[in-house]
Amino acid sequence: MLRKGLSRTGRVLAGLALAALVGGAADTPAPLDIAHWRQVFARPDHTPTPGDNPATPEKVALGAKLFEDARLSGAGDVACASCHQAELSFSDGVDRHVGHDGQPLDRRTPPLWNLAWGLSFFWDGRAPSLETQAMVPIENAREMAGNLQTALRALSADPQMRQEFARAFPDDPAVTQANLAKALSAFQRTLVSPETRFDRWVKGDDTALEPDELAGFSLFVGKAGCVACHQGWRFTDEAFHDIGLTSGDKGRGPVLGVGAADHAFKTPSLRERVWSAPYMHDGSLTTFEDVVDHYADRVVQRSTLSADLPRRIALSAGERAQLVAFLNTLSSDDPPRPASLPARTMALGAVADAVSASTISQKDRRFTPGAVILKAGDALRILNDDTRVHNVRLDGPGKSFSSDAQNPGDTVTIGFDQPGHYDVICGIHPEMRLSVDVAQAR
Ligand code: HEC
Ligand code: HEC
């Protein structure tokens, strides 16, 4: 509270000083297209939930309890909430949490806001769903050092728990691994970050942002280039980028087996980050000021840098302060409480009408067309006419494929011999989805 109050005053003063100093700045930015950006950053009115794990109040309540239950850990001393602390944006305030072996973990504890919209989980995206993610920390020797079977036995021995599992899962009233994962995930999907001053501005309140904050937003979507990756109301494209930090962690590369994705990490949301310092996968940057200085002049030059990262951004001290002022408007003034939105069962990602085509384009991080019909025996050509490196992947029953790094200009050809449905994605930009239906050859 105090910290935030001070920084708010500091911001106003900095803004005033700045206006006096740079009154006639040399490079005039393009005028802000307010109507456009208000549309781009509008919040949704419901939370997506997967069809096989619909949210019910009983399930969410059970998940919330399990999230704080140390019986999930080997020694009964660590719960999910030990590292993901509500008052710290479900993070832990340290660069790297000290693990069970007394050594710091490899990566920083990420905040858990707005994961219902996530397409992959962990900094390197190695878990495809919240349900699969939840089991990992329990058995991780350095995190909870637990054993699932032991944890399930401990929970089953508690009559109250048995009853709560039965209420949450009336069709399958048992304390099982699947139900544990479903309850934890259903709870985590309710962690929607609340509206902040920025959202009031998005909804049309022109007075919600101070002039220096609005100037910071202009830089964010303009010459600072931040919006290339931090896009949409959650401020993430769900993609993996190398932004040139000094850390030796290879991130997404080893997960995909694609060297071009080395040092790439999932773009984090920027919501409620005032409460979750320090920043980045290694917790190496302490303040928003450090983050902005990083992008402006500390990027480590290497071949794996994201095509979406501006190579040089000239930002004056005043402009840096404005960017920081804007970042602050994405956080609540008091420790945030989750906002609840009605849940709606839906698949993430738009489903396009399938057309018959043999060549697919990948321009602007989109497969076009997004859905195709083929005949068994046909081949599909996928042309990278984008400016970015892609990694075409297909994982399905009886068929798996990875293109390795597909550079701009490269074409990848996949043959389809068996009828069926296939989903093709880009391993570096998982929001790119191509649905392939292969019909029986006649
Ligand atoms: C010892 C600290 C610790 C505990 C306990 C812990 N986590 Fe985490 N959590 C982490 C760290 C560190 C990461 C990042 C690891 C990585 O990306 O490789 C993480 C990542 C996650 C993520 C991915 C978030 C994202 O943005 O992709 C989720 C979800 C999550 N944890 C949920 C849980 C749940 C549920 C539990 C309890 C079953 C739990 N965590 C227990 C430290 C912890
Ligand atoms: C090329 C894509 C890209 C661009 C452009 C970009 N970011 Fe990021 N941002 C990321 C990724 C990826 C991370 C996490 C990197 C890591 O941990 O290795 C990140 C991390 C952050 C974080 C830390 C969040 C946290 O919780 O740790 C902040 C704050 C941030 N960016 C702000 C900005 C600002 C401000 C700009 C514009 C000056 C910007 N970003 C430009 C991709 C991008």
Q: What is the pLDDT of residues 258-307, one digit of tens each?
A: 999 999 999 999 999 999 999 999 999 999 999 999 999 999 999 999 99
Instruction: Please state the rounded mean pLDDT for residues 95-117.
Output: 91
DSSP calls for 179-212? HHHHHHHHHHTT-BPPP-HHHHHHTT-TTSS-HH
Atom 20 (ligand 1) nearest CA? 122
Tokens found for residue 118: 């996530």
Q: Which domain holds residue 389?
A: 359-439
Q: Name residues contacting ligand 2 (CB within 6 A).
A: 224-226, 228-230, 241, 243, 245, 265, 267-268, 270, 273, 276, 279-281, 288, 291-292, 295, 306, 308-309, 323, 327
Residue at 235 is within a domain = no
Do residue 282 and residue 424 come from a single domain?
no
Residues 160-173 pLDDT 10s: 999 999 999 999 99
Residue at 197 is within a domain = yes
pLDDT at 350: 54
Does 393 contact ligand 1 (Cβ within 6 A)?
Answer: no
CATH number at residue 168: 1.10.760.10
- CA separation for the pair 400, 403 (Å, rounded): 10
Instruction: Please state the rounded mean pLDDT for residues 196-213.
Output: 97
Do residue 324 and residue 401 come from a single domain?
no
Residues 119-148 pLDDT 10s: 999 999 999 999 999 888 887 877 777 788
Closest-lying ligand to the alpha carbon of 223? Answer: 2
Peptide bond into 278 cis (omega under 30): yes
The pick from 109, 226, 276 for probing ligand 2's pocket by mutation, whose C-beta has the most ligand atoms within 8 angstroms, reads 226
Do residue 337 and residue 376 come from a single domain?
no
Nearest CA to 361 out of 383, 386, 393 is that of 383
pLDDT at 29: 62
Question: Ligand 2 centroid vs 267 CA: distance in angstroms?
Answer: 6
Nearest CA to 179 out of 191, 192, 194, 161 is that of 161
Query: Bridge-partner residues for 339, per DSSP?
Result: 192
Does 138 contact ligand 1 (Cβ within 6 A)?
Answer: yes
pLDDT at 104: 87
Cβ pair 434, 418 in contact under 8 A: no
Cβ pair 59, 186 in contact under 8 A: yes
Distance (Å) of CA 221 to CA 30, 40, 224, 277: 11, 11, 7, 23
Tokens found for residue 228: 């290339």
Do residue 421 and residue 277 come from a single domain?
no
pLDDT beyond 90 at 6: no
Residue at 42 is within a domain = yes
Please state the domain count of the chain.
Answer: 2
- CA separation for the pair 265, 90 (Å, rounded): 19
Instruction: Tell me the CA end-to-end span of the chain in Å, nearest whole number.
Output: 70
Cβ pair 201, 209 in contact under 8 A: yes
Do residue 89 and residue 121 come from a single domain?
yes
Residue at 189 is within a domain = yes
Does 97 contact ligand 1 (Cβ within 6 A)?
Answer: yes
Closest-lying ligand to the alpha carbon of 245? Answer: 2
Do residue 276 and residue 396 come from a single domain?
no
Atom of ligand 1 nearest to the CA of 79: 5
Residue at 11 is within a domain = yes
Helix or strand (DSSP H, E) at 324: helix 317-328
Do residue 339 and residue 415 come from a single domain?
no
pLDDT at 351: 63
Nearest CA to 421 out of 439, 403, 441 is that of 439
Residue at 154 is within a domain = yes
pLDDT at 347: 65
CATH number at residue 388: 2.60.40.420
| Pairing, β 371-375 against β 359-361 | unpaired
Do residue 371 and residue 284 come from a single domain?
no
Residue at 39 is within a domain = yes
Question: Ligand 1 centroid vs 240 CA: distance in angstroms?
Answer: 18
Do residue 128 and residue 274 come from a single domain?
yes
Does 115 contact ligand 1 (Cβ within 6 A)?
Answer: yes
Do residue 335 and residue 363 come from a single domain?
no
Over the chain, what is the mean pLDDT?
90
Question: Ligand 1 centroid vs 27 CA: distance in angstroms?
Answer: 44
Atom 32 (ligand 1) nearest CA? 134
Closest-lying ligand to the alpha carbon of 191? Answer: 1
Do residue 110 and residue 182 come from a single domain?
yes
pTM surpassing 0.85? yes
Residue at 232 is within a domain = no
pLDDT beyond 90 at 397: no
Do residue 29 and residue 169 come from a single domain?
yes
Atom of ligand 1 nearest to the CA of 142: 1
